[in-house]
Structure 1
Amino acid sequence: MTSTYLPVLDLRGRLALVTGAGRGIGAAIAARLRAGGATVLATARTAPPAAGPDGGFVTADLTTSDGVDTVVSAVRERLGTPDVLVHTLGGSRSPAGGFAALTEEHWQDELALNLLPAVRLDRALLPAMREAGRGAVVHVSSIQRRLPLPDATLGYAAAKAALTTYSKGLARELAPRGVRVNVVSPGAVETEAATALADRIARSEGVGHDEAWDRILSSLGGIPLGRPTRPEEVAELVAFLVSDRAAAITGAEHTIDGGTVPTV
């Protein structure tokens, strides 16, 4: 009987960029990749208090062309050709109230935050990875691309659906050149952004924070596991996907939601 060798989750020598890494899921992913041995350049609009002067963090607003240029320049200066790209940046600042509450500006903001930064950074950085014949890309989407919350995050859900579709096409194009592209779609996660969403709903509906949070979970159909996902659990999945243990996985969407999505 023959045994199959599975490499350990060793990221030593990998050069990685993680966006949206100022807090929440992005910060957890950056920390997990570093713990695995990777050299990580993290970026967000605001640097976290723990960000030191070691060159591992770049402050930039990726919803702007200047911000994208800043990050691209930092990647080329500090990493050269990256091995790993993790696009975590996302969120929603649109008001509750259904589709009629979303203005043209709200729709533009949702696309500018949840879709276009990944597209622009990929366009700038992936050609070098393709030429090198190696690399792993993860786009963090959301289960809301399948279970949108029409009251509060319809624009966000639509933008994440676009990101997921874009990722699938990118994966098919780049797989023959040795670059893998996958999607991770979390459900409810214990983050500051989730708390902010509950606060917006609470203010709009005139209810307490706990009731607003219960409404979010109920609108998604509940969580069979009985609790939200933790940022560190999402980070563990991402670390696996960019490692050699996932060498044959590309073009796939990986849901991490405690069983929320009811379909197969």
Structure 2
Amino acid sequence: MTSFLSLVGKRALVTSGTKGAGKATADLLRELGAAVFTVARNAPDDRSDAMFIAADLTTAEGCERVAAAALDRLGGIDILVHMLGGSSAPGGGFAALTDAHWERELALNLFPAVRLDRALVPAMTAQRSGVVVHVSSIQRLLPLPEATTGYAAAKAALSTYSKALSKEVAPQGVRVVRIAPGWIETEASVQLAERVAREAGTDYAGGKAMIMASLGGIPLGRPAKPEDVANLIAFLVSDRAASITGTEYVIDGGTIPTV
């Protein structure tokens, strides 16, 4: 029986590929036959190999190193997954955000994608094939003013940029898609739920419930698993999704309450 989905012969770069949804995505792409090059700020378990590079993608120099290494070690690029993202901004609303906070949010959530695309997408257009996945967030549609204004605005900018790129490169055979996760139960989110639980004097399940309530609820009743996100990405980068470009797929358990 023929496999429904295969990535044999494909060459992929996955950023933030050593933890959470990034690791799940890199692992699944490899399982489906792709050669996968990953990047993160630090090597997993203090080890490195030929298909991993440690780099700081918030800098132009880091992006240049990663792009050059990916092309050198893969011999080309077919799939580019921009998983990197996050926020270190303080709570306190808009007035608590300094220029430095805003610059950090953009440096982490927008510029790495812009820079790596600029370095790698021309190779895709030259071969007239390739897929770029920008991982946005439902926060661009559902910002939490107390704590995620900068992050949400940066992800909104990423989404707009992604749409423009898709329109530009589709005629050259390159697809550009976005996914917008809600809360993903990664190592970091587990730690957050545990901290919330301790502060509230409850257990982990109680901490998860409090976070879900802060998002307005998750109708599915649970956050997404990293593997859920990986499964969606694997489909979108495959030939099974050959007519899909320029659009966004929300994976949030129903969190966004509107059409």
What is the identity percentage for the equivalent residue pairs of Structure 1 and Structure 2?
60
SS at match of 1:12: coil
Q: CA shift at 1:216, angstroms?
A: 3.3
**Counterpart check, 1:118 vs 2:113:** yes
Mark the CA change 1:201 to 1:151 in structure 2 (over 3 Å): closer, same or farther: farther
Unaligned runs of 5+ in 1: 1-5
Q: Aligned equivalents of 2:174 and 2:159: distance in 1?
A: 17
SS at match of 2:42: coil
Mark the CA change 1:227 to 1:202 in structure 2 (over 3 Å): closer, same or farther: closer
Superposition CA RMSD, Å: 2.1
Matching of residues 1-264 of structure 1 within 5 Å? 8-49=4-45, 52-53=48-49, 55-195=50-190, 207=200, 213-264=208-259
1:81 maps to a residue whose letter is G
Q: Is the 8 A contact 1:95 1:200 kept in 2?
A: no
1:250 maps to a residue whose letter is T
TM (norm. structure 2) is 0.92
1:122 maps to a residue whose letter is D
Q: Aligned equivalents of 2:245 and 2:33: distance in 1?
A: 22
TM (norm. structure 1) is 0.90
Q: Aligned equivalents of 2:136 and 2:41: distance in 1?
A: 19
Q: CA shift at 1:145, angstroms?
A: 0.5
Q: CA shift at 1:220, angstroms?
A: 1.9
SS at match of 1:235: helix
In the alignment of these two chains, the number of paired residues is 256
Q: Aligned equivalents of 1:159 and 1:193: distance in 2?
A: 20
Mark the CA change 1:212 to 1:95 in structure 2 (over 3 Å): closer, same or farther: farther
Q: Aligned equivalents of 1:202 and 1:166: distance in 2?
A: 38
Q: Aligned equivalents of 1:199 and 1:156: distance in 2?
A: 22
2:144 maps to a residue whose letter is L
* 1:3 aligned residue: none
